[in-house]
Amino acid sequence: QTCEENFWGTKQVYFPQQKNYTPPPKGYEPIFINYIGRHGARHLTKPMSENKAYQLVMKAANKNALTEVGASLKNAILNLSAIEANADGNISELGKLEQSNIAKRMVKNNPHVFGKKVLLVNTTVGNKIRTLQSANAFLEGLKEACNCKIINRQYIDDTTTRFYDLSPAYENYKKIGNWQHSLDTLETHLALFEKANDLIEKVFTAEFAQTIKRQDALKFMQEVFGFLTIIPSLKNEIISKGISVSEVNFFPFFNCKVLQALHNYDNAEAYFLKGPGNNVNGIQVKIAAPLLADFIYTTDSFIANKKTPLQIRFGHAETIAPFAAFMGISGASTQIENVSQISTFWEDSKIIPLSANIQWVLYYHPKLKHYLVKFLLNEKEVSINGLTTQHFPFYDWQDVKKYYSEKLIRFNIYPNTDLYQWLFSLQ
């Protein structure tokens, strides 16, 4: 089923958003790349049996309370469960390929960075296995493309890859933030409850449907939508399990209007919880400050000692979205007042698809002894709100360092700030 609007959201499988690049000004060559990436395409983040949708369908099946539509939904869920068994939280084969191909394009686009026989790399991963698996796939791609020996120093650090988990104030914002009212308004505007009821009535007998509470009905529909959107990430696993795509087809339970409404809602939720929301300097964005500090510090370190030409980090959608907003990347940091306009100005499938990534590419002119930096979001050259340049997409490194260092100071982050403590005490 093809719908006019892209409804894949954060389950959008990755593709590079630009292929041909602006040549640097004469005499400049790329010498260092600073990278943060979301993990690759993945399985669901929790076991199927922990889904309300799974529990309700199985409970109804035991009570003989499924309609014919419900019975086909049960089959699709059981087939997906077979694919998901013991795989939750892992990246998929497609995820590995996405990561490897990003690394290969990075080498192809920046041969001057990767020209040496030995390549020093600093790698940071988080505490979720999908970040480590993504790092491994990325490094494999690097090794293949650069035909070099890679010496990799690897760290685990959540202050720069999964900072949301380290901030009690963010947990509070997630639970009782002032964004809830805006999202409730959108839920009503999209008539999601009515749509959920329609689905419930199609799947369960009337008697069983009446036992389902309003919030559970919404959760049910959102999770079945989650089953539908994860399928493209699992195409290799579906084949290797001998299951046909038609046996894990969740499209029959939706139409395009419902898919678009569900995506609009999820996009708005991601916008408030991981994006500019109704305050682009709010906790959900400024929480990325430690990552910006790390980008400045590691770029400066390279300029000082010219040792490690590649700094890579692997995190989550909730790493990339706030970082893009905090950096002021155009198209990813716009604060929107009208909640029904969000998906026009902030689209999760463009900003935080699977394998989403942000790159700072540092260029050097040996005669002028001058540095420029270029910013890429999902491999597309982007501009920074608040920063000007005579030669876009290249920015003067000193201007960038000054602009972002002053921003960090406004949030009480200095070169010697303890970032873990800063996150913990953030309000």
Ligand X SMILES: O=P(O)(O)O[C@H]1[C@H](OP(=O)(O)O)[C@@H](OP(=O)(O)O)[C@H](O)[C@@H](O)[C@H]1OP(=O)(O)O
Taking contact as CB under 6 A, which single stretch among the options 138-146, 148-156, 315-323, 336-344 is the one that binds ligand X? 315-323
Coil/strand/helix, residue 361: strand
ω before 393 within 30° of 0 (cis)?
yes
**Judged by CB, which is closer to ligand X: 24, or 315?**
315
CA distance 277 to 346: 10
In this structure, what are the phi and psi dihedrals at residue 71, rounded to the nearest 5 degrees?
-65, -40
In this structure, what are the phi and psi dihedrals at residue 193, rounded to the nearest 5 degrees?
-65, -40
Coil/strand/helix, residue 358: strand
Coil/strand/helix, residue 1: coil
Q: Would you list the DSSP string of 367-400?
A: TTTEEEEEEEETTEE--BTT---SBTTEEEHHHH
Verify binding: residue 317, ligand X, rule CB under 6 A: yes
Is residue 277 left, alpha or beta, with left meaning phi > 0 and alpha meaning psi from -120 to 50?
left
**Judged by CB, which is closer to ligand X: 292, or 317?**
317
First-residue to last-residue Cα distance in the chain:
45
**Judged by CB, which is closer to ligand X: 13, or 292?**
13
Q: Tell me, what DSSP letter sits at residue 154?
A: E
> Minimum Å distance from CB 11 to ligand X?
6
**Judged by CB, which is closer to ligand X: 42, or 374?**
42
User: Which one of 8, 10, 228, 314 is in contact with ligand X (CB under 6 A)?
Assistant: 10
> Minimum Å distance from CB 322 to ligand X?
12
Taking contact as CB under 6 A, which single stretch among the options 92-100, 153-161, 185-193, 310-318 is the one that binds ligand X? 310-318
The residue whose two tokens read 């999601």 is 192
**Judged by CB, which is closer to ligand X: 43, or 195?**
43
> Minimum Å distance from CB 219 to ligand X?
11
> Minimum Å distance from CB 126 to ligand X?
9
> Minimum Å distance from CB 360 to ligand X?
21
> Minimum Å distance from CB 350 to ligand X?
14
Site string for ligand X, 267-306 (x = CB under 6 A): ----------------------------------------
CA distance 245 to 251: 11
CA distance 393 to 384: 9
> Minimum Å distance from CB 146 to ligand X?
27
Verify binding: residue 263, ligand X, rule CB under 6 A: no
CA distance 3 to 143: 39
> Minimum Å distance from CB 321 to ligand X?
8
CA distance 348 to 5: 13
Query: Quick one: tokens of 421?
Result: 């403590």
The footprint of ligand X on this chain (CB under 6 A) covers a number of residues equal to 7
In this structure, what are the phi and psi dihedrals at residue 16, rounded to the nearest 5 degrees?
-70, 135
User: Which one of 286, 316, 374, 407 is in contact with ligand X (CB under 6 A)?
Assistant: 316
Verify binding: residue 133, ligand X, rule CB under 6 A: no
**Judged by CB, which is closer to ligand X: 80, or 317?**
317
Site for ligand X in 34-53 (CB under 6 A): 38, 45
Do residues 324 and 351 lie in contact, with contact meaning Cβ atoms separated by under 8 Å? Answer: yes
Taking contact as CB under 6 A, which single stretch among the options 151-159, 296-304, 316-324, 392-400 is the one that binds ligand X? 316-324
Interface residue list for ligand X (CB under 6 A): 10-11, 38, 45, 316-318
